Amino acid sequence: MEASTANIEEIVKQVLANMAGGGTAVSPAGSGGQSSEIPKTARVAMLTGLEHYEIKEFPLPEVGDDDILVKVEGCGICGTDAHEFKRDPFGLIPVVLGHEGTGEIVKMGRNVKKDSAGRDLKLGDKVVTCMIFKDDPEITMFDLNKQNVGGADVYGLLPDDDVHFNGWFADYILIRGGSTVFNVSDLDLYSRILIEPCAVLIHAVERAKSTGILRFNSRVAVQGCGPIGLICIAILRTMGINNIVAVDGEQKRLDFARELGASQAVNFKEYKGIEALTEAVKESLGGHLADFAFQCTGSPAAHSNIYKFVRNGGGLCELGFFINGGDAAINPHFDICSKEITVVGSWVYTLRDYATTFDFLKSAKKIGLPIDKLITDTFPLDQINEGHRTNLAMTGLKIAIINE
């Protein structure tokens, strides 16, 4: 079959345009290109001072051969964002925050073909990012187990530069070559926003399993029913663990803990002293102390308490201290030595945990756990200051920015 000269010219033009990453046609998987009209400029929410975001408009950056331009759909507000908003402990201001984000690929460089788990990537796919590898030869895209994100860069916690589109609190984000990115097109928007916090708990449960104590029929205590403890409960329930007692002081949160899979709930404010509280936990577990306990608060007093809930020979996972919350007193004889309990710590996650998280979210929905209800309040990008203030007020659970 012969094509006319005019046709060939047209085809060549199209191919060249796509190679330059500037074409307008939808391209097949992994061949670069652009899916739809992309504006010349777009907005970011930049934290420019304490408790103060400004909406700024910048030209959208060039998309290099290894880069991906993503149109942001939404992003959760994390405790880390709250710390930055209030005190800037990481010294990042001015910064475009937001690391619990997700969106749609609208343009990609010609070298981009697969995500970090080996799945095809194409225009229109929904993605999330995890860590950014710099020049660490110890980590490769295919070694998902290597280490947790401590020490790696993460979008949404990068200092501002001349790209500006570095965080998910924005209309667009530029994902540069060398980043980890996952195709999560088979998850709905709320599930995708919850991936990052859920990965924290997948990691904690994997750490707990490494003790050999957490089993199918274990009795488990989860202390703290903020988003972290609640997701912990949902994961345990999804794994088939039925005997879970939730401990918190907020009745609303305890009620939701039951919806997410806790079989019992203990309100610590109803008990005077650790002996009475321990007795209540024991009673809720059918007269037994817990085989395993998860500490999901940032309170040193809560850390001291949780040892009492664990049986001799049991296990404990401490994950509540993402940042330094001070020292906690324990009695080495009663709490660890004579009890022979196994304690593990858990901090952030590995890439492998991300992949497991995708499966968890699908399984949790399949058994009817109302995971989406963790997102209690949503705000558009231009109301991000209000969104953060709502987060600080602690009236809801997970607050998210959702782009229109």
Q: Which residues bind Zn ion (CB under 5 A)?
A: 78, 196
Which one of the spans 6-14, 136-144, 159-167, 222-230 is the region binding ligand NAD (CB under 6 A)?
A: 222-230
CB of 253 to ligand NAD, least distance (A): 5
CB of 200 to Zn ion, least distance (A): 7
Which one of the spans 40-48, 172-180, 237-245, 315-323 is the region binding ligand NAD (CB under 6 A)?
A: 315-323
Q: Is 115 in the site for ligand NAD (CB under 6 A)?
A: no
Both structure tokens of 344: 């593990």
Q: Is 302 in the site for ligand NAD (CB under 6 A)?
A: yes
Q: Is 381 in the site for ligand NAD (CB under 6 A)?
A: no
Label the pairing between strands 52-59 and 153-154. unpaired
85 φ, ψ (degrees, to nearest 5): -60, -40
CB of 236 to Zn ion, least distance (A): 21
Q: Is 375 in the site for ligand NAD (CB under 6 A)?
A: no
CA distance 133 to 365: 32
**How many residues line the site for ligand NAD (CB under 6 A)?**
28
Which one of the spans 18-26, 52-60, 293-301, 378-386 is the region binding ligand NAD (CB under 6 A)?
A: 293-301
Residue nearest to ligand NAD (CB): 226
Both structure tokens of 205: 């449960």
CA 263 to chain centre: 25
Q: Is 393 in the site for ligand NAD (CB under 6 A)?
A: no
Residue whose CB is less far from ligand NAD, 32 or 387: 387
The one of ligand NAD, Zn ion, none whose footprint includes residue 74, by CB under 5 to 8 A per kind, is: none
CA distance 283 to 24: 65
Give the CA angle between residues 13, 17, 21 to the nearest 5°.
170
262-298 burial: b if 16+ Cβ within 10 Å, else e: bbbbbbbeeeeeeeebbebbbebbeeebbbbbbbbbb
CB of 149 to ligand NAD, least distance (A): 9
Residue whose CB is less far from ligand NAD, 40 or 272: 272
Closest CA to 384 of 158, 155, 81: 81
Residue whose CB is less far from ligand NAD, 250 or 372: 250
Residue nearest to Zn ion (CB): 78
Preceding omega of 94 cis (within 30 degrees of 0): yes
The one of Zn ion, ligand NAD, none whose footprint includes residue 315, by CB under 5 to 8 A per kind, is: none
Residue whose CB is less far from Zn ion, 195 or 302: 195
The one of ligand NAD, Zn ion, none whose footprint includes residue 277, by CB under 5 to 8 A per kind, is: none
Tell me the DSSP string of 134-186.
-S-TT--TT-TTS--STTSEETTSSB--SS---SSSBSEEEE-TTEEEEE-TT
Tell me the DSSP string of 363-376.
HHHHTT--GGGGEE
Provide the angle, in degrees to the nearest 10, between the axes of the packed helices 79-87 and 384-393: 110
Residues that bind ligand NAD (CB under 6 A): 79, 200, 223-229, 247-250, 253, 268, 296-299, 301-302, 319-320, 322-323, 346-348
